[in-house]
Amino acid sequence: MKNLPSPESVSDMWESLKRERRPIVIYGMGNGADKLIARFDSLGIKYADIFASDGFVRGHSFHGVRVKSFSEIKELYPDFVIVLSFATRLPDLIDTLLGIDEEFDMYVPDMPVSDEGEYFDSAFYKEHYGQIKKALDALYDEESKNVFISVIRYKLSGRMRDILEFTSTKEEMYSLLSSANIETLVDAGAYSGDTLSEAVSFFPNLRAAVCIEPDPKTFKRLARFAEGLEGIDVRTVRAAAWDKTGDGFFAGSGNRNSSVLDASTHSYQHRVEQTPLVRIDDLTEGKTDYVKYDVEGSEREALSGSDETIRRDRPQLLVSLYHKSRDIFELVNILRERYPYYKMYIRRLRCLPAWEINLIMLPV
C-alpha cells in the first residue's frame, strides 16, 4: 500500500503549471473548459491554445481562440503540455487518453463538481492533513485505503496514473452489499432512473423504492421509467433531499451537474428556480434497507435529514464523496463519529477525473 504524501514536501499540479515554460494547451471545450480557464486566470497561468479531437473541429472559436485539431497542435508546437478539460466514463475514450498520456505530458485536473470553488491544492492538503489521515484510518479494508490514497495523490498531482490505479466495476462495488437483504430503498438523487435500474438488477428481493429527484426535466424521465416497472412499488418525489422541509434554490441543467444553491450563489448553470426540500426521515415508512446519496454536493444535508432513519433501521448506505473537495475525508469523519456501528469501504468506478467515489457503509 502506498502512503499519503508528506505534508512537509507536498506540491500540486497548479504550482507545476505556473512554473511551466512549454506551451500549455487545453483539450476540450464547454463548461469544464470555462471553469479551467477561470482557474488559470485566478492563478496567472497562461494557455497557448485550445484543441479538440480530430474530426470534431468545425472552425469555431472558444473564448476568442480558434479551436484547433490535435493534429494542428502537434504540427504547431514541437513540445507542449496538455490539460484535459472534460470528464468521461467511456472506456474507449479513457483508453485513447491513456495512449495520449503515454506520448505527451498531460494533466487531468481535479475540478470541484459543486460551484463552491474550493480546490484540493497543496495548501488545502496541509491544512486538512490531520483530518485526511483520520479518514484513512477509519476505512475497513486495504482496498479502500488504496483507493483513498490514490485519489488524494491524484488530486494533488493531476496525473492519470494515480487516479486509474485502483478502480472497481459496478458488479464488484455492489458485491460488498448484502443484496439479498435489500427489500426497500431510498434513492436520493435518482436522476432519470439509472440507479433504480441498477437496484432492480442487483437486489433480487427489491419490492419498494422511494426515488427523490429535484430537476423537473429529469424527474419526468424518472417518473416515466418508474411507471414501466412491474412488481416494485415506486414512489417518486420531485424535491431535493435536505435537512429540513421547505423551499430552496435549484440550479437545474437536466444533467448530473444540477445542484441545490443558496440564493446568493453564483453558478455556471443556466437556470435557477425554487424547488421543494424534503427530509428523507419524512418519507420513510416501515423499515428501510438501503439508502443511496448522490445529491450533487448536498450529501451533508441529505444525511442529516435521514438521521432518524439511519439510527432506527441501520440501512446499508452508499454515499458519493466527490462533489466537494473535502467530501472524501470530511464526510467519512462525520459519519464515523455519528454512526460508529458501521464498517466503511470506499470504491471508485473507472472514469476521469476523480468522480464516482463511493463510500459504502455496512452495519455491524
pLDDT digits (tens, 9 = 90+) for 80-100: 999 999 999 999 999 999 999
pTM above 0.85, yes or no: yes
- Mean pLDDT lowest for which of 32-46, 239-253, 349-363? 239-253
Please report the pLDDT score of residue 271 as a whole number: 60
Query: How many whole angstroms separate alpha carbon 121 and alpha carbon 242?
Result: 29
Confidence (pLDDT) at 23? 98
**13-109 shares its CATH topology with 176-320:** yes
Q: 176-320 belongs to which CATH class?
A: alpha beta
pLDDT band per the 50, 70, 90 thresholds, residue 255: very low
| Cα(216)–Cα(273) distance, integer angstroms | 10
Which architecture, in CATH terms, is 13-109?
3-Layer(aba) Sandwich (3.40)
pLDDT tens digit sequence for 161-206: 999 999 999 999 999 999 999 999 999 999 999 999 999 999 999 9
Q: Where are the domains of the chain?
A: 13-109, 176-320
How many Cα neighbours within 13 Å face the side chain of 120? 26
Residue 263 or 144, more confident: 144
Q: Indicate the pLDDT class of residue 267, thresholds 50, 70 and 90.
A: very low
What is the rounded distance in angstroms from the CA atom of residue 350 to the CA atom of residue 215?
26
Beta strands in the chain (DSSP E): 24-27, 49-52, 61-62, 65-66, 68-69, 81-84, 105-107, 184-188, 208-212, 233-237, 240-241, 246-252, 259-261, 271-278, 290-293, 316-320, 342-348, 357-363
